[in-house]
A and B are shown apart, each in its own frame.
Chain A
Amino acid sequence: MSEHVIRHTFEAPNAFTQAELGWEAWLEPLPLDELTERHYAGLVDKGRANSPYFRLLVRDPDILGARTRTDNDIFYNEKGGLPRAQRELSAAAASRTNGCIFCASVHSRFASHHSKRHDDVQRLLDDGTSAPQEDPQWRAVIDASVALTRTPREFGAANVRELREAGLDDLAIIDAIHGAAFFNWANRLMLSLGEPTPPKES
């Protein structure tokens, strides 16, 4: 007999938001008491054992560990390259394009935090990736992320030139590519293995 998915009864959020959402899995996360040393190595950060997302993914620990280390270097390695805010913007734009309400909530919130430009970020969520952005670096990073997210990819020399003309160097351009590409990984996991839960009442 086959296993069964978990069906939730809560009303999942149905709009893009910068609020803090939760996430619940449609498949059984690995129970806490079954976590071995190898699973903890895959979680990278022990605290992630509390997350149903990471405890589901840890069922295949090696790819989870490699995924997380890739993620951390792309978004948190601050030796040169793209400013943190724009890395988060690239993640938010990919998530807005694919339609991942959960990923967009996290990374739009981080983009707002690092840039202090909540309204510009909110416009991306409300009106989409083609909504006006006056900052040429923001425009170029969003355009690059959308072009790279579409299938087949529309990212081309014009995107590299737009990023460069906005004042970004080659390492920053690689960060923009990595940020968008990584969220084409993350969005597909978040969207397909579970769903967001409503923000906690404050």
Chain B
Amino acid sequence: MTTDVIDQLVGIAPGDALDTLRNQRPNARANAQASFDALLNSDELEHASQLERLAIAYWTIALSQSPVTPFYRDLLAAEDEAVAAALETALPDAVTTGPYGDYPEGPLTTENAPGLHWEPDASLTTSVGPRLAAALAHTHLLVYRPRDSSPDALQALLDAGWSTTGIVTLSQLVAFLSFQLRVVAGLTVLKGEL
């Protein structure tokens, strides 16, 4: 049997009510897994290394305060325990609630919401290197305040050594996991109400 990470994280076994329900959206189900595999089981790592991918994945899930954080911490720790430990140490100062951020100048600025603009401190940057540190700052932006995005934020990634293709992969990773963790959260609640 092939792995289905959403089933694993929600606790869905073949023949369960949720298994039957998920099969009614078979392409969404199969391609949620295909997305996970494309991002985290890829053999094309030229633009984003496996360690970078796993660190960004853990950081996305941990900042989102998802109950599935241990799953992603284990994946990262198996690749590099020191990086997992450094990120875990940095987490309490980075966690907040979202979404927040500013709108472009105009009528919506009355809805601007202030919040944390997190940057890695010197100790974390030393532990993970400036390239991954820049990606972690961008991950924080995408998780909590995507509407604050800007060309400057992307330029900071380019300056830190990310290629255009690498930025696409990094953005897809944070965005896909923002989807996956919400599907898991929703299905977990529904499971308790069946």
Contacts and interface: CB of A to CB of B under 8 A. Distances in A.
Interface of A: 2-7, 12-16, 26-28, 56-57, 59-60, 62-67, 69-70, 72-74, 77, 79-81, 97-100, 128, 148-153, 155-157, 159-161, 164, 170-171, 173-175, 177-178, 180-182, 184-189, 191-193
B123 interface: no
* Interface SS majority for chain B: helix
Nearest to A182: B179
Contacts of B146: 98-100, 187-188, 191-192
Contacts of A2: 158-159, 161
Contacts of A170: 17, 21, 190, 194
Given A3-B163, A150-B97, A182-B179, A73 B26 contact: yes
B189 A157 contact: yes
Q: Give 5 nearest A-B pairs by CB, closest first.
A: A14-B106, A177-B186, A99-B147, A73-B27, A181-B182
Contacts of B21: 170-171, 174
Contacts of B13: none
22 contacts: A5-B154, A15-B106, A56-B168, A63-B35, A63-B38, A63-B172, A73-B28, A98-B146, A99-B103, A99-B108, A99-B147, A150-B97, A150-B99, A155-B189, A159-B189, A171-B24, A178-B28, A188-B142, A188-B171, A188-B178, A191-B147, A193-B171
A190 to B, nearest CB: 9
Contacts of A185: 175-176, 178-179
A23 B119 CA distance: 29
Contact of A177 (B63, B176, B183): B183
B39 interface: yes
A64 B68 CA distance: 24
B70 interface: no
- A interface SS class: helix
A27 B161 contact: no
A65 B38 CA distance: 10
B168 A57 contact: yes
Interface of B: 17, 21-22, 24-28, 30-32, 34-35, 38-39, 42, 47, 63-66, 97-99, 101, 103-108, 111, 141-144, 146-147, 149, 151-155, 158-159, 161, 163-165, 167-169, 171-172, 174-176, 178-180, 182-183, 185-187, 189-190, 192-194
Nearest to A193: B171
Contacts of B168: 27, 56-57, 59-60, 193
Most chain A CB neighbours (cut-off 10 Å) among B34, B103, B168? B168
B38 to A, nearest CB: 4
A12 B149 CA distance: 13
